[in-house]
Structure 1
Amino acid sequence: MSHHSTTPFAGLRVCVAGLGVSGPPVVRLLLERGARVTVVDGRDDDTVRPVAAELTAAGAEVVLGATPLPDECDLVVISPGWRPDSPLAVAAAEADVEVIGDVELAWRIKPADQVWLAVTGTNGKTTTVRMLEAMLRADGRDVLAVGNVGTPVVDAVRPDTDGRHPDVLAVELSSFQLHWSSSLRPHAATVLNVAPDHLDWHGGLEPYARAKGAVFAPGTLRVVNTADPWSVRLAEEDGDPHTPLVGFGLGTPRSGELGVVEDLLVDRAFVDDPVGGAEELATLADVRPPAPHNVANALAAAALARSIGVAPASIRAGLAAFAPEPHRIAYVASVAGVDYVDDSKATNPHAAAASLGAYASVVWVAGGLLKGAEVTDLVAASAGRLRGAVLIGADRARLREALTEHAPDVPVVEIDGPAPDAPEGHTVMDAVVAAATAMAQEGDTVLLAPAAASMDMFTNYPERGRLFAEAVHRLL
């Protein structure tokens, strides 16, 4: 039990920065515990005003349209997206006021017997946490998936009306949330992979990777992706050398690892005799979709579940019960021998690489906001499987340059809006699908894997995926 978890909040003056998803539950929790709460948010519009009114009614002081550090302030609880160089964070550091995130706050007040299993990484977090939750549920555990998925983490540490709380949390953690956590000590944790993302926020790959490495805390069992150098390095360099280091990978597992033997997922770590013994956990057919990166996610989830004694049969039952997320390598339809696949959730190059790697011949639909990410490696690695490319979005010129350099023979079409003569109800995606269909041949896959964020042209990535699927269905 950390010394923080007894911190009395009564009378403490807490500034909550940002009214995002985590803001309101944080404010309510602090008010319940007797803190004096001031909320600041730079926005002042119709989205935040009703939320502000509710929190004011609950007893908080709310400042909209500005983000000053309140004069009287003992602690700042900051929304995960806020950068370390934001004026409020800098002012707090100068005033020697501690700044924490919602995850750290939840950790400090969590019930002592609640077990946390943590997942971070550039890609695959949500899928792995959902698989883990399904495995634990199949094992009869009282579990909840929290973080960027499902329930805000502060709500999962509060007792419900019967005074109960979940026994186990499957916690999805972003690098931002880890940056703002200082005493977090999960029972077991994994860094699935590290690829360039959010570099503008962290100021480079090394600080971004190290933020993720913070999940390997003192006493935390380390689960690593043997194929990802950063995952292994962070566990070895930043992790606790006194806890087991359990590897997972797509090859035959060595002693102390989880892996794949023929078509079986096998555990050689959490067994009575790791030298000679092995437990069969599931088959590749139990993993949907059975793309390589998704098998890796399943093995990572299995390792975390096995670390608290989940039975092998429950691993398999959990995978069988797990329904993949929408817009994650989702099969849309097959038209004239061409498959159409929606991976709109591939909002960075690393995620796009995973889905491009799952198909032999692809007409690639890509583009949007690249957030400073580099696309050269992605294009170079995928060049051999590209039949054609359809580019959309604000940063498509960078993709075109990479294609010209590394895939000069691949035809490229750019689309910047709906066709001028488009029928009523047709969107830019109808023009995209038409261009892709014209390039595709029987046996090809038209793959929406943008490698970029969507907000330049669409509300969000689910809308981008939905419009793509609707345009495909109009072909039928």
Structure 2
Amino acid sequence: MDLTHHHRTSDWSAVRATVAGFGVSGFAAADNLTHLGAQVTALDERVTDTRAEQANLLEVLGAQVRLGEGATLTLPEDTDLVVVSPGWRPDHPLLRQAEVRGVPVWGEVELAWRLRDPDNAAPWLAVTGTNGKTTTVQMLDAILRAEGLRSAAVGNVGRPVVEAVMDPAPLDVLAVELSSFQLHYTHSLSCESAAVLNVAEDHLDWYASMADYAADKGRIYERVQRACVYNVADPVTEQLVREADVVEGARAIGFTLGMPAVGMVGLVEDILADRAFVEERATSAAELCTIDDLASPAPHFVANALAAAALARSHGVSQAAVRAGLSRFRPDGHRIATVAEAGGVTWVDDSKATNPHAAQSSLQGYDPVVWVAGGLAKGARFDELVQAVGSRLRGVVLLGADRHVIAEALSRHAPDVPVIDVGEDETDPEHGPMARVVSAAAELSRPGDTVLLAPGCASMDMFTSYAERGDAFAAEVRRQTGSV
């Protein structure tokens, strides 16, 4: 069956769709395909209470569900389409079988793009990057709402995109966060505007090379209609714009923490300024807001605000709405969140810094700093980070499975920085693994210092999520410092 031109109003009743993966996006895809009349089979190896409930619901709606060990090894013989959840590697046996048989493989994002309402298709303003995606998309959504637009932050940020496009209450515009995994399985996406915030080492346990990882990030620029927003400080992002096949008339818009050239947004002293979307951009700039209007002056936070502003301005949003949206915005928990101030030391939770690039961005906002780091490194290296921030470090506390990777980088590039290695045998049976971490950080810190949890690693070796890790850190800081 040729599904090249299948869309929302097509006849789906003859389509036999296999949904691979039964997480949030997989369930949304299976649910909506069933609603459209497709013959759906949903597969997942994992069995949980939530998945069992969702399976029962889909079966009531008419779908077939296979859960449990071995459920995803064999592609059903009559499959016309595979919709795959983010994170499934292309070399998975099920996807290899689809490739051999010529069965198209879409991600939930590709499905969502095809299922937009042809009579009221809200444009997409999309964001990807190694770090800062969620913050930027939430900033963008706040700006759009300040303009009075019906907007929603969707995609990797939380709500599946397919749910948003199938919602009977139409939206004016979508602020869409997309991971490299989601972009890998897109084929026809054509955003109104899109941004790649940065490209740094991450997910090298999934990708064969950095080039492959960057290429998937760059897919967000394909067929862009208005603006490709790139990071002036990251040449890879600009190169991805140059390589993209965009709609004629689409512009390349840079964002920079320096003085913006024509066609960019950037900083003029402490002012976030627009020299891209004003008529007299050759000789003047429009003030969008000031750094004092933002929740944080940290460089990466300011850069995210500039990227969000550029996307919003490409959609025609006013300067006043940019200022209002950014002034009201506050980041989610575990992102440069001050936990306590005690004895002259500030304790900050940035547990969401789950790779070296994010940790480096966070560390560059503080000096001097006691760095709490470690976890699952996902194949990443820390040499560049330590070289960049070594002079800021008062000391380092290491924990987690791959803490030796960070320790080795420190020994090579910052051998004089004191390091306390918290091993697995130092876990407090009553208060958990963070008890010794916090006490070690307190030993290293002095008045005027910041203790920063910016692990540079994933959390699943010791915690269920970065949020649980951040919560454990914050709770232990408050217990040991007596802060409320």
Q: Which residue of 2 aligns with 1:283?
A: 290
Q: Which residue of 2 aligns with 1:171?
A: 176
Alignment equivalent of 2:259, drawn from 222, 241, 252: 252
SS at the partner of 2:18?
Answer: strand
Q: Which residue of 1 aligns with 2:460?
A: 455
Q: Distance in 2 between matches of 1:153 and 1:13?
A: 22
Say whether residues 1:33 and 2:41 are aligned partners.
no
Say whether residues 1:23 and 2:26 are aligned partners.
yes
Q: Which residue of 1 aligns with 2:104?
A: 98
Q: Which residue of 2 aligns with 1:110?
A: 116
Q: CA deviation at 1:262?
A: 1.2
TM-score by length of 1: 0.96
Give deviations 1:215-241, integer Å, cap 9, x for gaps.
112243211111111111100122427
Q: Is the 8 A contact 1:338 1:446 kept in 2?
A: yes
Q: CA deviation at 1:32?
A: 1.0
Q: Is the 8 A contact 2:128 2:196 kept in 1?
A: yes
Q: Is the 8 A contact 1:119 1:172 kept in 2?
A: yes
Matched ranges for 1:416-431 at <5 A: 416-417=423-424, 419=426, 422=428, 425-431=430-436
Say whether residues 1:471 and 2:476 are aligned partners.
yes
Q: CA deviation at 1:50?
A: 2.4
Q: Which residue of 2 aligns with 1:85?
A: 91
Q: Which residue of 2 aligns with 1:303?
A: 310
Q: Is the 8 A contact 1:188 1:222 kept in 2?
A: yes
- Of residues 328-337 and 131-140 in structure 1, the stretch that sits farther from structure 2 once superposed is 328-337
Q: Is the 8 A contact 2:132 2:197 kept in 1?
A: yes
- Structure 1: 4+ residue segments shifted above 4 A: 417-420
Give deviations 1:429-466, integer Å, cap 9, x for gaps.
11111011011111111111100011111111111111
Q: Which residue of 1 aligns with 2:239?
A: 233
Q: Distance in 2 between matches of 1:45 and 1:87?
A: 23
SS at the partner of 2:276?
Answer: coil
Q: Distance in 2 between matches of 1:168 and 1:204?
A: 34
Q: Distance in 1 between matches of 2:204 and 2:6?
A: 31
Q: CA deviation at 1:399?
A: 1.1
Q: CA deviation at 1:278?
A: 1.9
What fraction of aligned residue pairs are identical, expressed as a percent? 54
Q: Distance in 2 between matches of 1:382 and 1:44?
A: 43
Q: CA deviation at 1:274?
A: 2.2
Q: Distance in 2 between matches of 1:71 and 1:314?
A: 53
Say whether residues 1:217 and 2:217 are aligned partners.
no
Q: Distance in 2 between matches of 1:294 and 1:239?
A: 30
SS at the partner of 1:463?
Answer: helix
- Of residues 51-60 and 228-237 in structure 1, the stretch that sits farther from structure 2 once superposed is 51-60
Q: Distance in 2 between matches of 1:82 and 1:317?
A: 39
Q: Which residue of 1 aligns with 2:55?
A: 52
Q: Is the 8 A contact 1:136 1:305 kept in 2?
A: yes
Give deviations 1:326-348, integer Å, cap 9, x for gaps.
00011111111111110100111
Q: Distance in 1 between matches of 2:278 and 2:342?
A: 48
Q: CA deviation at 1:418?
A: 7.3
Q: Distance in 1 between matches of 2:258 and 2:58?
A: 52
CA-based RMSD: 1.5
Q: CA deviation at 1:364?
A: 0.8
Equivalent residue pairs, number: 470
SS at the partner of 1:251?
Answer: coil
SS at the partner of 1:333?
Answer: strand
Say whether residues 1:383 and 2:390 are aligned partners.
yes
Q: Is the 8 A contact 1:346 1:352 kept in 2?
A: yes
Q: Distance in 2 between matches of 1:36 and 1:412?
A: 58
Q: Is the 8 A contact 1:418 1:426 kept in 2?
A: no
Q: Which amino acid aligns with 2:91?
A: D
Structure 1's unaligned 5+ residue stretches are: none
